[in-house]
Amino acid sequence: ELGQTLERMVQTLRDQLPSSGSDRRGWIPPGTHPDPRPPDEADVVVVGGGVVGWSVAYWLKVLEGRRRHGMKVLVVERDPMYSRASTVLSAGGIRQQFSLRENIQMSRFSASFLRDINEHLGVPNEPPIDIQFQPSGYLFLASPQNAAALEATVQLQRDEGAQVTLLSPTQLKTKFPWMNTEDVAVASYGLEDEGWFDPWTLLNAFRRKAMSLGVQSCSGEVRAFVISANHVMAPAQLSARIKYVHVHMPDSLEYQPVACAIVVNAAGAWAGKLLEADGLPRALCRPRLPIQPRKRYVFTWHCPNGPGLSCPFLVDTSGAYFRRDGFGGNYLGGMSPPEEEEPDPSDLSVDDDYFQEQVWPRLARRVPAFESLRVRGSWAGYYDYNTFDQNGVLGPHP
């Protein structure tokens, strides 16, 4: 485990230091173009340099094919250190077990992509990519009230080709003897393409590959737009076209206008707020994009007598979750609060009492060994929450 930690540290330093042939007068943060100013124009401006934004930039260049005068793609990220980025503050899970067909299909494609990641994101003369995938699977537990719904969802997943099995309480206890199963009616367990990985490594792999394909990036925040006159498009739908984005420089009142044809909103938890920026016609931004930032805590703890190597990414009937974190008896987990108890998302402070009062009792009830766990740390990250139906939003905006 120590060796893997040191390797991650070395890779992080490599990501953040200039190459041997570059100018070493200044340190270049990850995701930042050596020229701090954005270009005067780009065909596509991607707002948000997390894993979604860099994936969009990568696919635009790959699907474009080889052209003499290729598409100009610019990724704008306001947090080049990624200190508040959802990507690197996540638990790094991947699963096929969704209740919406499109989500299952997207995740199955993602699993296939990650399996052959070096074929897609490998860069010549760079070391191979290792996202440290842990194929331990997701395990969803269902109470008697939710058993039928879980079984129906598993059938949908199987129809899409996902390898998911149903376990009875007896089978569950046999496979995971460290678990208390007295209130569990049935469980679903992913047999392949599920587990967790290092999201920081994936983010940098997308960024490095996209930039090798010619994608540009800059530090800054898109705060305003300039649009063309409103015009009618079939079928008689009011729309407007963005002509410029205003990229505000870090720690400055200055901004750079960037002429563009298309803007991709990959701002994650702030995707809704981006559509409130100056210059966008209010009539076209109603109803509002129902995306809100939700603060989620992740806690880490040590328990030498815990589940061990057999530990999956477990989602309890109570909503609490946990997974193994390395191989030294360490775990991480958390739980989403009820709607009426959502914490203030204005900062990323952590309420440690939430673990003691809400999360720990649920963990200890499911895993008796966790009664003697020792908390090691915590952090908070942002979840981009769709208040309409909790799913992603894809496609053109008017």
- Residue position matching structure tokens 């490599």: 14
Q: Alpha carbon 277 to chain centroid distance?
A: 24
- Name the pairing type of β-strands 186-190 and 216-219: unpaired
Q: Do the Cβ atoms of 324 and 311 come closer than 8 Å?
A: yes
**Helix axis angle, 147-159 to 101-115, nearest 10°:** 60
CATH architecture of 136-190+292-386: 2-Layer Sandwich (3.30)
Torsion of CA 39, 42, 44, 46, to 10 degrees: 0
Task: Please give the Cα distance from 80 to 61 (Å, whole number).
Answer: 22
CATH architecture of 41-88+202-289: 3-Layer(bba) Sandwich (3.50)
pTM: 0.88
Within the chain, all domains assigned CATH 3.50.50.60 are found at: 41-88+202-289
Q: Alpha carbon 242 to chain centroid distance?
A: 27
Within the chain, all domains assigned CATH 3.30.9.10 are found at: 136-190+292-386
Task: Please give the Cα distance from 113 to 110 (Å, whole number).
Answer: 5
Task: Please report the pLDDT score of residue 185 as a whole number.
Answer: 98
Task: Please report the pLDDT score of residue 228 as a whole number.
Answer: 85
Task: Please give the Cα distance from 209 to 58 (Å, whole number).
Answer: 7
Residues of the chain with confidence (pLDDT) below 70:
12-36, 66-69, 229-237
For residue 307, whether the previous peptide bond is cis, meaning omega lies within 30 degrees of 0, is no
Task: Please give the Cα distance from 12 to 6 (Å, whole number).
Answer: 10
Within a 10 A sphere around the Cβ of 169, how many other Cβ atoms?
16
The partner residues of 73 in beta bridges, in order of sequence, read 44
Per-residue pLDDT tens over the stretch 241-283: 899 999 999 888 899 999 999 999 999 999 999 999 999 988 8
Per-residue pLDDT tens over the stretch 15-56: 655 544 444 444 555 544 455 689 999 999 999 999 999 999
